[in-house]
Amino acid sequence: MTQQEISEDVRKIVERQLGLEDYASAHSTPLPPLLQELVAETEREMGLRAAMLSGHVQGSFLQTLVASLRATRVLEIGMFTGFTALMMAEALPEDGRLITCEIDPAAISFARRFFERSQHGGKIEVREGPALETLQSLEGPFEFVFIDADKGNYVNYYEAALPLLSDGGLIVADNVLWMGQVLDPQSDDARAIVAFSEHVTRDERVVNVLINIRDGLMLIRRR
């Protein structure tokens, strides 16, 4: 195979992958208008950081998990502009609670503007500051924990969250494929993600599965 033929094959694979992601989005319940506005405004105001948004399909998947578990208390580590917080809050009952940890004041004020306009915003409690410190101050149980903050702390977040998890609860960690770099980790973040996945997979207290959706989700439950 020539270099040109290989490049052409790679281009087709990437195009098909992007096409399949669009197809999955087109065949999932559309985002409500407020969430569409949040995504558009995040893209306008946050520049390249907007790539941190979970996106329509993954956000809907998290919402489905929260609804299926009939969760009443959710913990999020890494809120950014509030997309996943609002998606998950929508699946909570009226008296449900979502505690979300975020360190960036600009992201917090952005998210709060949208929480105030949402009928589900009252279920969300933002804890500002380093998430590891916040976790030390929390009491469980939470039926659902979403880990999506700085990658270097993933093992610490997991170890702090596991004792807070309810019986039958679920921890989900995002970005466990780190854009494919886990196959040949060259950066600190990629190595941290690999260390996290190895740590969880070795942990006999839990059962885990790594799902190849978007940038990779690790689903973890107690044995």
Q: How far apart are CA 175 and CA 180, in angstroms?
A: 10
Q: Does 102 bind ligand SAM (CB under 6 A)?
A: yes
Q: How far apart are CA 52 and CA 164, in angstroms?
A: 26
180-187 long-range CB contacts below 8 Å, 24 or more apart? 182/216
Contact flags string 161-190 toward ligand SAM, x per CB under 6 A: ------------------------------
Q: Does 131 bind ligand SAM (CB under 6 A)?
A: yes
Contacting residue, 24, 46, 50, 52, with ligand SAM by CB under 6 A: 52
| Torsions phi, psi for 6 (to 5 deg) | -65, -45
Look-up: residue for tokens 């740590």?
Answer: 199
Q: Does 53 bind ligand SAM (CB under 6 A)?
A: yes
Burial class of 213 by CB neighbour count within 10 A (0 to 12, 13 to 18, 19+): middle
Contacting residue, 57, 71, 72, 78, with ligand SAM by CB under 6 A: 78
Stretch that binds ligand SAM, among 9-17, 22-30, 100-108, 136-144 (CB under 6 A): 100-108
Q: Please report, as ranges, the residues that interact with ligand SAM according to CB under 6 A.
A: 52-54, 78-80, 83-84, 101-104, 107, 130-131, 148-150
